[in-house]
Amino acid sequence: MNSYDFAGKIAVITGGANGIGAAVAERMVASGARVAIWDLDISSPEARITALDSASYCLIPTDVGDLTSVEAAFRETKNAFGQVDVLVNSAGIAGPTSSLSEYPADAWRKVQQVNLDGTFHTCRTVVPGMMERNYGRIVNVASIAGKEGNPNASAYSTSKAAVIALTKSLGKELALKDVAVNCITPATAQTRILDQVSQEFIEYMRSKIPRERFVTVDEIASMVLWMASAENSFTTGAVFDLSGGRATY
């Protein structure tokens, strides 16, 4: 397990009660960080979260699609731990599997609200403090779907493409500060988000990966940890692939 020095650092991880976010939170705590987990549902966090030292993390119910909720979570985090040094945007939903011509308009808006607006809301909230202190690391979880587009997943693919663009834009805005903004574009991981799509679609996504398996959340956490560390002192506005060979650019 790779480890970087996060002693004294405060990290916010959205969607951190389960899946990718939980794996990142566990690795962050093991590396010395204190972690605020912002999640819509904090009632049933993974065992890897509940096994952590209770002084090293807090669970804050947060709807990232609602700016007011995000701002309230930020205030609670500051009261508990202090200013935020690291932000990992892992909260996301898949939305229904449907052709665009039949895609429910309300579901389209909900996917954008969580995946895209949620990333905007959290970045908007934590960036001013990072700029003031001239230090910060932001890692946005996009998807290979944002590069290539998955059929019958237009809302999800669109939202993740927009997260990539947001990352590049914000990375340039903050380039003269020691605030790195990068994103990852993983292939599918076996997490709760797959509960939202059909088995046929799951098999399609697996078939697109040359390694012929899904990425694990721990593999994703390994890459995120370096991206969120002080050692990542130059790269910003970049996209890191975890696609098992699927990505073509």
Instruction: Give a yes or no: residue 4 inside a domain.
Output: no
Within a domain: residue 189? Answer: yes
User: Which residues have a catalytic role annotated?
Assistant: 156
pLDDT tens digits for range 203-225 = 777 788 889 888 899 999 999 99
Listed residue (145, 67, 156) closest to 111, CA to CA: 156
Please indicate, yes or no, if residue 135 is contained in any of the structural domains: yes
Q: What was the pLDDT predicted at 201?
A: 74
Please check whether residue 159 lies inside any domain of the structure: yes
Quick check: is 176 in a domain?
yes
CATH number of the structural domain spanning residue 74? 3.40.50.720
In tens, the pLDDT along 48-76 reads 999 999 999 999 999 999 999 999 999 99
Structural domain that includes position 29: 10-240
pLDDT for the residue 212:
84
Does a structural domain hold residue 25? yes
What pLDDT is stored for residue 248 in this prediction? 82
Residue 89 tokens read as 């945007």
Give the angle subtended at the CA of 162 by the CAs of 159 and 168, to the nearest 5°. Answer: 150
Q: Which residue, among 72, 54, 55, has the nearest Cα to 63 in the 3D structure? A: 72
* The pLDDT value given to residue 194: 61
Instruction: Report the chain's mean pLDDT, rounded to a whole number.
Output: 94
CB contact at 8 A, 246 and 25: no
Token code pair at residue 54:
């209770």
Q: Which of 157, 156, 122 is nearest to 139 (CA)?
A: 122
Q: What is the pLDDT of residue 149?
A: 93
**pLDDT value at position 235?**
98
Position 22 in a domain: yes
Tally of domains within the chain:
1
Asked if residue 2 belongs to a domain, the reply is: no
Q: Which residues of the chain have pLDDT under 70?
A: 191-198
